[in-house]
Amino acid sequence: MTGAIGVEMLSAAAADQYGYGAPLYCILYSVEELLEMLGIVLFMYALLEHLADATGGVVVRLPAPPA
One-letter-per-residue 3-state SS of 1-47: CHHHHHHHHHHHHHHHHHCCCCHHHHHHHHHHHHHHHHHHHHHHHHH
- Its pTM stands at 0.74
pLDDT band at 1 (very low <50, low <70, confident <90, very high): low
Q: Cβ distance 27 to 55 under 8 Å?
A: no
Give 6-47 pLDDT, tens digit per residue: 888 889 899 999 999 999 999 999 999 999 999 999 999 999
**Dist CA 36 CA 30 (whole Å):** 10
Give domain limits for the chain. 2-55
